[in-house]
Amino acid sequence: MTTNPQIRRAVVNDAEKITTLINAAFRIAESFFIDGNRISTEEVKELLVKGDFLVAEAEGTLTSCVYIEPRDGRTYLGLLSVNPELQRTGLGSQLLSAAEDYSRQNGSRFMDIYVVNLREELPQYYQKRGYIETGTTPFPENIQTKLPCFFINMSKAL
């Protein structure tokens, strides 16, 4: 499968495919500290009301997605997910750049992300992309984890 995808804004009919993609990607990355699915189709549909998903498709298949939500001149970015078979091919970076461009074009001045502290590779990945650590946020109490964890807040000027 090509790694030169078409990137577009998702529609509600994409919700099931987005859910499957996110759960597959996060299962690989987070199974050491969390059980179960990361998100439901209903939750994806709720997010589509508050913000946007950008999706990348190649040869008719959804390859990656990211959620972006405008928040008072800033944009929250989350759920960056790449098909496990295509990880480490540059798709995540392409989609991150597209999300930053999309947010900038829509008037956002900053991009904010939360990364789980147990995913030790993520702060360095985002730092290389210009993000800086700005603090921490507790992990949601309603999500059961195998290990104690918290979010590292990161931000980038757009």
Overall fold of domain 6-112: Aminopeptidase (3.40.630)
Position of tokens 């650590």?
133
**Per-residue model confidence (pLDDT) at position 39:** 94
Task: Report whether pLDDT(40) > 90.
Answer: yes
CA distance 156 to 158: 6
pLDDT tens, 104-145?
999 999 999 999 999 999 999 999 999 999 999 999 888 889
pLDDT tens, 41-94?
999 999 999 999 999 998 889 999 999 999 999 999 999 999 999 988 999 999
pLDDT band of residue 4 (cuts 50, 70, 90) is: confident
SS3 101: helix
**Per-residue model confidence (pLDDT) at position 3:** 54
CA distance 40 to 109: 30
The residue type found at 16 is E
Would you kindly state where each structural domain of the chain is located, as residue ranges?
6-112
Task: Report whether pLDDT(1) > 70.
Answer: no
CA distance 33 to 97: 28
